[in-house]
Amino acid sequence: MKAEEYHIKQYESVYRSTEKFVDWLEVSGYLGVDMPQRICDIACGGGANLAYLSRRYKNSRFTGIDISHPLICYGAEKLKGEVNCELYQGDWFHLDTKWRDQFDGIISFQTLSWLSEYHEPLRQLAELNPKWIAISSLFYKGDIEYSITLKNYYRVSNGKEYEKQYYNIYSLIRVRKHLETLGYREFHFIPFEIDIDLPKPESMDVGTYTIKTEENKRLQISAALMMPWYFIVASK
């Protein structure tokens, strides 16, 4: 599934990871129907997560920021009529200071591991001074980090022979320490254990599917990689 298709498809059916992440944030006290907040979805793509959030939490206001102008335009059209959300084009690595002190919370859905690294992106979020930062991505509980770069020959990019993609797995220990240096000392995490089967794509391109272990636990796989998904949240 191409990146654009990934974002657009969720308008048809909300991804299970999105539902579970938001459920966990609500149970943990960071989101709630009776908690009016200003929330930013960073790297929001076409805004499908915003559509889900805005309808679930009608008393809050949601802002989406993404680097892709076509996706922002697509999302703006889809979100017409949604009075509590808006979309803007912006670069996560160079966020406009106009957003400082504008958000109670910032959420990132399934993006951090697809960036080249996490230190500067998290610093940029902290510079906006939200009360809390929540992220779903690929993590490892131990003190080991994996820098994984794909040369995806299934996807031609800008006239090149392949598309370069990151599938980095970050250490929860290191990410927690970095967030602490940025002033976010309260830290919680939980593994995302999917409870539905995802079919294997017909293509050998990247795309998440599940296999079951003998213990009936589902593992999430994309191409040749196992996907250790976690939800994390850090607050001041």
User: How many CB atoms are closer than 10 A to CB 55?
Assistant: 11
CATH topology of domain 3-142+169-197+228-235: Rossmann fold (3.40.50)
* Burial environment of residue 155 by CB neighbours within 10 A (0 to 12, 13 to 18, 19 or more): middle
| pLDDT tier at 81, thresholds 50, 70, 90 | confident
Q: What is the 3-state secondary structure (H, E, C) of 109-140?
A: ECCHHHCCCCHHHHHHHHHCCCCEEEEEEEEE
Distance CA 23, CA 190 (A): 12
pLDDT of residue 3: 59
Assess whether pLDDT exceeds 80 at residue 6. Answer: no
d(CA 171, CA 219): 19
Say what percent of the chain tops pLDDT 70: 98
Rounded (5°) CA angle 60-65-22: 45
Torsion of CA 190, 193, 62, 118, to 10 degrees: 60
pLDDT bracket for residue 2 (50, 70, 90): low
Tokens (6 digits) for 72: 């922002």
Q: For the segment 161-196, what is each residue's pLDDT rounded down to a tens digit?
A: 998 999 999 999 999 999 999 999 999 999 999 999
Q: Mean pLDDT for the chain?
A: 94
pLDDT at 4: 67
Residue spans of the domains in the chain: they are 3-142+169-197+228-235
